[in-house]
Structure 1
Amino acid sequence: MVFEVKEAIQNGNTVLGIEFGSTRIKSVLIDENNAPIASGGHDWENSYVNNIWTYSVDDIWKGVQDSYQKMAAEVKEQYGVSIQKIGAIGFSGMMHGYMAFDQQDELLVPFRTWRNNITEQASTELTELFQYNIPQRWSIAHLYQAILNKEEHVSSINFLTTIAGYIHWKLTGKKVLGVGEASGVFPIDINNKQFNDSMINQFNENVASNQLPWSLENILPEVLVAGENAGELTVAGAKLLDVSGELQAGIPLCPPEGDAGTGMVATNSVAKRTGNVSAGTSAFAMIVLEKDLSKVHPEIDLVTTPTGNLVAMAHSNNCTSDLNAWVGIFEEFSNAMGINVDKDKLFGTLYHKALEGDADAGGLLSYGYLSGEHMTHFEEGRPLFARSSDSNFTLANFMRSHLFTAFGAMKIGMDILLKEENVKLDEILGHGGVFKTEGVGQSILAGALNVPVSVMETAGEGGAWGIALLGSYMINKEENESLDDYLTNKVFASQAIKTISPEAKDVEGFERFMERYKKGLSIERAAVENLQ
């Protein structure tokens, strides 16, 4: 096995996927069988600078170089060879946000991430203009808000993209996006898999009085679908990615995608009536639709799969950040008591404890709003825990309430799809950090959505593996082979999968918790207004 992998690495029969997540940049190298053979990670955090959530350009490049070097070091340690050739590379990143560049390719303002809820006016006006939901975090909302704010940099814009598009551009010279990522920049015409021309015209007419020196279609990236070639790694790009200088230029790249699209790929949920939930710093459910929704819902994004099929997204800005912070408190306590506990064991113990709690978490209430939450109309957040004097305050219920609230905001959006729009789902695939502890996140989510939840053995690999699979599809697909068929037959055919069906008591318990959650939003509002 080691010899076969070594030979694949030497012959360049591998694919590399790199994803820029909110807290980690991860590199995953896969072999000819699409199995991960090496990985490397770089932990990072966004900064709150001048009321903007951002990552610096220096941090972006230091992070991707460190992640790549750690993956390459693992290859050398395990297989005794260095990486010089790769069959294909793909980049994925946090969707949406705002990276605007001038004609000299200089970043005009610090990167504005998806986490910023600063575009409410733009979001509202564009949704009304297009009769199509434009969430605050979408790139076009950031652009329009900057126009409304009369920001000086707007007249100098030459190119607008996302973090995945930025990395891809710098490494290939190509200003492109995969259609899934592009669908979080500006609405897509599902028929031709391109930006919606009529809406572009509406936008240009709407801002004409500002006499800007550009038209929208001229500053947006080109849109590509999964399987298309998106350029090659340049000599300068190879040196930028691999500071050791060993990686060769000329490697083909697949279209850069967003974390939502790579999550769909990593869970084999790109077909209609399938869906997946990604749960980490943020939580979002992606449901591949059989038909259009009956009306515009401000809580629901309409995006696409990497092949351009319509997807409804119920997205919440906050998921596990506050939960992780509480686990950190328990770790501090353990250390103070002279007990060194393995972090995985600590998470596992506390998560499993939650399964022992009351069905509705014993009357406890928490909000993990580290940042604003668009689903419940908060521009800022305050992590909050509250309970009544007669609540059942136990460790099990405490942990259960925090796992419940991790899915709370997303649940509001999913109720719109499942209860109001009667969207049909056969199952949900779960992936992301909250599902690493076997059975716990699955049980909680199954109860929340009243739908069977499945987790694959690769659930922890996440979007870096997903974008690697898109690279593999690009170079290995047969003529007319769809992405759905490629994934089902060549990637997931022998994949171990575990499914948990919802139990009536858990469904009822989560519904009771959500009644408390909705009523308690006034407490969260008071915290935002009074706790600085």
Structure 2
Amino acid sequence: MSLDVKSAIQSGKTVLGIELGSTRIKAVLIGEDNAPIASGSHDWENSYVDTIWTYSLEDIWKGLQDSYQKMASDVKQKYGITLETVGAIGFSAMMHGYMAFDKDGELLVPFRTWRNNITEQASKELTELFNYNIPQRWSIAHLYQAILNQEEHVADISFQTTLAGYIHWKLTGQKTLGVGEASGVFPIDLNTKTYNQTMIGQFNDLIAPKDLPWKLEDIMPDVLVAGENAGVLTEEGAKLLNPTGELKPGVPLCPPEGDAGTGMVATNSVAKRTGNVSAGTSAFAMVVLEKDLSKVHPEIDLVTTPTGNLVAMAHSNNCSSDLNAWVGLFGEFSKAMGMDLDINKLYETLFKQALQGDSDGGGLLSYGYLSGEHMTHFEEGRPLFVRSSDSNFNLANFMRTHLFTAFGAMKIGMDILIEEENVKLDEVLGHGGIFKTEGVGQSILSAAFNTPVSLMETAGEGGAWGIALLASYMINKEGNETLDDYLNEKVFADQAVKTVSPNPKDVEGFDQFMVRYKKGLEIERAAVEHLK
């Protein structure tokens, strides 16, 4: 045990980051060198209630408290001391979605997550109005769709925010968002680093005939950039996070960020010409742009880094959920055969099989569309596996195909950036569960993008570590030190990196798979229409 670590914990020189992902809430405590020293996590799942993907407020707080308590228990077990304070805290969560509250702070309708593809009319109308792509999952699309649907609650809205913004508000009393998170709520003006005021005026004019008792700027959170102070943990907030009462109030919080921004930070991909891919329940590729895109592309989101630089995002709603379900099925089979395999060993074995398959996956086809997929214009999904009578159906090709399709929808968006917009990308940094088995997901992604893919030794730490780094930057930056410099010099200077370059045969095979993938979308469409 390091005495320095124990001293840092006791003197409040650690930093805590908590991120609420789609299937896991993770808390990471980092030391003075920005390396993780303790962690805790809580598994959870969204619910499909009345055709809406949602999480209950009860599940949100139960999961937060459990992840915090497990992290604090990890501190107690490793260092023999009770965690009572930290130097700073940051909260992050899956971006977008819709949480609307009345004047008493009561949630008006169940939380509508990013996963819902229910705002097509709003998305199209706002994209046309602003001449700026407004994807279906963006908060403003949800708000406008609720207005179009004439939902009764709209007139009672006093505050609208995201999941990360909601938690930050309850713990600090501050209604604010980091600029990266805010960029998935409403378009950002890159000069002022806040909401685009011209577009806010256009929106207010658009809804004026509805005679609502609020204007858009009245109900949205304030916007802050990385490094700014976003309030302190209140007494009430400390009890919400740590009901047993050990955690003391008064801790400063950084601006709450979305999982896109924390992914950029965790992979040191906040500088121009850098990119990263976060692959889990959903998959998104982000490229920090050197200039604006030439035109609006409905497949491409424009968001920002936590410092307010423009980022192009190719986001797919579905990535590893169906793949995980198949691995679970193989796990059930192994148990039925009397073999109680470790889940990590099972994943490693199956993933490595994929490298033995035919370069194109043997003619097999799969769609892991557990939910709708905006990239290919599906409001609903049906997980689907298809093969022809002459496909080469074996385990290696089966696994390879499911790994291929995990990146399939995202690949369509990346092709637009690289081929149509001539975006330059030196390398891609990968992070997320699909990369845990060494060399497999990395090789598949490198073939998909025809670009070198690198993984850092901290790639598994993910967004919880990323938001902890943003909180650390807030309290430890020196003078006008930029986030780029802070990450390069104080976090990643000695970081070990493993890079895989694209194999030409694998690139050709993935391209062949994508021809099949695009042709087969009619089969997926028929499944959605006929399998209710």
Q: TM-score range by the shorter chain?
A: over 0.9
- Correspondence list, 1:242-391, <5 A: 242-391=242-391
Q: CA deviation at 1:243?
A: 1.2
Instruction: Report the AA paired with residue 285 of structure 1.
Output: A
Structure 1 equivalent of residue 86 of structure 2: 86
Q: How many residues align?
A: 532
Provide the C-alpha distance between the structure 2 equivalents of 1:63 and 1:279, rounded to a whole number of angstroms. 22
Residue 386 of structure 2 corresponds to residue 417 of structure 1: no
- SS of 1:461's equivalent in the other structure is helix
What's 2:23 paired with?
23
Query: CA separation in 1, counterparts of 2:487 and 2:496?
Result: 14
Q: Does 1:524 align with 2:514?
A: no
Letter in 2 for 1:453: V
Distance 2:484 2:437 in 1: 28
For the residue of structure 2 that corresponds to 1:48, the secondary structure is strand
Which residue of structure 2 lines up, in the alignment, with residue 444 of structure 1? 444
Aligned-pair distance for 1:426?
A: 0.5
Instruction: Tell me the CA shift for residue 152 of structure 1.
Output: 0.2
Query: Quick one: distance in 1 between partners of 2:257 and 2:471?
Result: 11
Please name the residue that 2:36 is paired with.
Answer: 36
1:283-302 deviation digits (Å, cap 9, x = unpaired): 00010000000000000000
Residue 476 (structure 2) pairs with residue 476 (structure 1): yes
Listed one character per residue, the Cα deviations across residues 221-263 of structure 1 (whole Å, up to 9, x for unaligned) are: 0000000000000000001101110101000000000000000
State the secondary structure of the residue aligned to 1:207: helix
* Deviation per residue, 1:409-447 (Å, 9 max, x gap): 000000000111010000000000001111101000000
1: CA distance between counterparts of 2:336 and 2:392? 27
- Cα offset, 1:315, TM superposition: 0.1
The one-letter code matched in structure 2 to 1:469 is L
User: Within 5 A, what are the aligned runs for 1:120-199?
Assistant: 120-199=120-199
Counterpart amino acid of residue 530 in structure 1:
H
The 2-side partners of 1:401 and 1:191 are apart by: 44
2:427 counterpart residue number: 427
Using the TM superposition, give the Cα deviation of residue 478 of structure 1 relative to its aligned residue in structure 2, in angstroms: 0.6
3-state SS of paired residue (1:89)? strand
Residues 467-515 of structure 1: CA deviation (Å, up to 9, x unaligned): 0000000000011100000001100000110000001001110000000
Amino acid corresponding to residue 330 of structure 2 in structure 1: F
Deviations 1:343-389 (A, max 9, x none): 10100010010000000000000000000000000000000000110
Provide the rounded CA distance (Å) in 1 between the counterparts of 2:136 and 2:225: 25
- Residue of structure 2 in register with 1:214 after alignment: 214
| SS of equivalent to 2:422 | coil
Give every structure 1 segment of 4 or more consecutive aligned residues whose post-TM-superposition deviation is greater than 2 Å: none
SS of corresponding position for 2:115: coil
Distance 1:246 1:40 in 2: 16
Q: CA deviation at 1:2?
A: 2.3
Counterpart of 1:474 in structure 2: which amino acid?
A: M
Q: Distance in 2 between matches of 1:2 and 1:58?
A: 38
Cα deviation per residue 1:180-215 (whole Å; 9 max; x = unaligned)? 000000000001100000000000000000000000
Q: Which residue of 2 aligns with 1:119?
A: 119
The code of the aligned residue for 1:7 comes to S
Displacement after TM superposition at 1:219 (Å): 0.4
2:67 pairs with 1:67: yes
Deviation at 1:85, TM superposition (A): 1.2
Percent identity over the alignment is: 79
- Normalising to structure 1: TM-score of the pair? 1.00
Cα separation, 2, equivalents of 1:371 and 1:92: 23
Q: Distance in 1 between matches of 2:55 and 2:298?
A: 28
Question: Residues of 2 paired with 1:333 and 1:52: CA distance?
Answer: 33
Aligned amino acid, residue 440 of structure 1: V
Aligned to 2:466: 466
Q: Quick one: distance in 1 between partners of 2:526 and 2:84?
A: 56
Q: Which residue of 2 aligns with 1:514?
A: 514
State the distance in 2 between where 1:276 and 1:251 align.
Answer: 31
Matched, 1:233 2:233: yes
The whole-number CA distance in structure 1 between the counterparts of 2:85 and 2:366 is 49
Aligned partners of 1:21, 1:332: CA distance in 2, in Å? 26
Paired letter, 1:481: E
Aligned partners of 1:460, 1:75: CA distance in 2, in Å?
A: 20
Displacement of 1:309: 0.1
- Which AA in structure 2 matches 1:72? A
Shift of 1:3: 1.6
Distance in 2 (CA, whole Å) between partners of 1:80 and 1:242 is 19
Q: Which amino acid aligns with 1:36?
A: P
In the alignment, the residues of structure 2 paired with residue 244 and residue 7 of structure 1 have an alpha-carbon distance, to the nearest angstrom, of 23
User: In 1, Cα distance between the equivalents of 2:514 and 2:155?
Assistant: 46
TM-score (norm 2): 1.00
One-letter amino acid matched to 2:102? D
Question: In the alignment, residue 263 of structure 1 is paired with which amino acid?
Answer: G
Match of 2:2 in 1: 2
What is residue 493 of structure 2 aligned with on the other side?
493
Look up the equivalent residue of 2:244 and give its one-letter code. S
**Cα distance between partner residues in 2 of 1:478 and 1:415:** 40
5+ long unaligned stretches in structure 2:
none
